[in-house]
Amino acid sequence: MSEHVELEALTRALGNELARRGRHGRRHVEVLPVVDEPAAAPAPAPTRAPTPAPAPAPAIARKATPPAAVPKPTRRRAPAPAAPADLDGFRRQIAHCMDCGLSAGPRGSGALVGRGAARPALVFVTDYAGPTERQYGKVLAPEAGQMIANMVTRGFGLQLAQVYVTSAVKCPLGQGCQPSPKEAKACARHLAAELELLRPGAIVAFGALAAAALGQPATGGIEPLRGRILPYMERTPLIVTAHPRDMLADPSLKPGVWQDLQLLIPHLGPA
C-alpha cells in the first residue's frame, strides 16, 4: 500500500513540474554529457614532388698530357766526324751518314760507295746513281760501266785494277729525280774525304754536278770547262767531260769525250 502511495506522489510531482515548465518555458538547458571525439589526425603536410637528384655533371674530357718536350740541339747538325783512316772506315762513315734528306728517315735508300783500286792511277767521278744503279749496287749501270772499261783498257792502256769509280752524291735517287743543291753540298765533304784517301794520279768528272763537287762550278754548262786540264786541290790534274748516260743517248758525243780524255794520258803512270 505504501509503495502505491509513493508512486502516486512521484507521478503527481512529475506532472506539476511539467506544467510549471510549460508555463514558464525551459530555463535550464540540460547539460548533456560531452563525449570526447577522437583527436583529429593532423593534416598531412602538403605533398611535394620529390626534388630530382641533380644530373651528374658531364665528364670533362681531359686532354692527354703531352710528352715532355725534347730540347732542341744547340747545333743543327752534329759536328763532322774525324776523317776516316782508310776506305773501310770511309764506307762505315757513309753508311751512318744523316746529313741530308736523301739518307735520313724512311727515304734513306743506302749509300753506294765507290769501287776500285786503293791507290788508283785514274778516278772517274759521276754525279749520282739512279734506280738502275741501285738495283746492281754499283755507281754506274752495266752498260755505262762497260763504256768506261773500254776507255780504260783500249784508250789509256790501263788495267781495270788501276782505276776507281765513284759518285759526287752517294745516295741513289728515284727515277727522274735530281739532288738539290743542299743535298749535293752536304755530300761534297764525303767525296773530298774519299779522294784524300785515294790520292789518284788524275780525275775525270762526268757532268756539271760532278765538276761542281770537285771545285769547278759549271753554271753555264760544262762546255767552258772542257778541252783543258783543271787542277784539283792544286795538285791533281782534272778534266770535265760529258756523262756516260748522255753518250749512250747520243753516240755522236763520244769523239769529243775521247779528245778530252787524251789530255790526261801524259799525266798517267805506266801500265
**pLDDT value at residue 30:** 45
**pLDDT more than 70, % of the chain:** 69
The yes-or-no verdict on residue 76 having pLDDT over 50 is no
User: Which residue is it, cell 759549271?
Assistant: 218
Least confident of 76-80, 132-136, 160-164, 167-171: 76-80
Q: Which residue has the higher pLDDT, 176 or 36?
A: 176
The yes-or-no verdict on residue 38 having pLDDT over 80 is no
**pLDDT more than 90, % of the chain:** 37
- β-pairing, 202-206 vs 122-126, is parallel
The yes-or-no verdict on residue 188 having pLDDT over 70 is yes
Q: Which residue has the higher pLDDT, 85 or 40?
A: 85
Q: How far, in Å, CA of 114 to CA of 167, rounded?
A: 7
**pLDDT value at residue 104:** 55
Q: Which residue has the higher pLDDT, 39 or 250?
A: 250
* Confidence bin at 63 (pLDDT 50/70/90): low
Across the chain, mean pLDDT equals 79
Average pLDDT (170-196) is: 90
Average pLDDT (168-187) is: 88
Least confident of 14-18, 20-24, 31-35, 172-176: 31-35
* Confidence bin at 41 (pLDDT 50/70/90): low
**pLDDT value at residue 251:** 94
- CA distances 266 to 111, 160, 168, 174, 237, Å, are 34, 18, 25, 39, 10
Q: All domains of the chain, ordered by start, with CATH?
A: 87-266 (3.40.470.10)
Contact criterion met (CB below 8 Å) for 120 and 161: no
Neighbours of 85 (CB within 10 A): 9
**Strand locations in the chain, DSSP E?**
115-116, 122-126, 163-167, 202-206, 230-232, 236-241
**pLDDT value at residue 73:** 40
The yes-or-no verdict on residue 31 having pLDDT over 50 is no
**pLDDT value at residue 52:** 61
**pLDDT value at residue 7:** 67
Average pLDDT (102-127) is: 80
User: Which residue is it, cell 792511277?
Assistant: 121
Least confident of 34-43, 53-62, 145-154: 34-43
Residues in the chain: 271
Q: How far, in Å, CA of 261 to CA of 240, rounded?
A: 9
C-alpha cell at 197: 784517301
Angle subtended at Cα 74 by Cα 79 and Cα 105, rounded to the nearest 5 degrees: 65
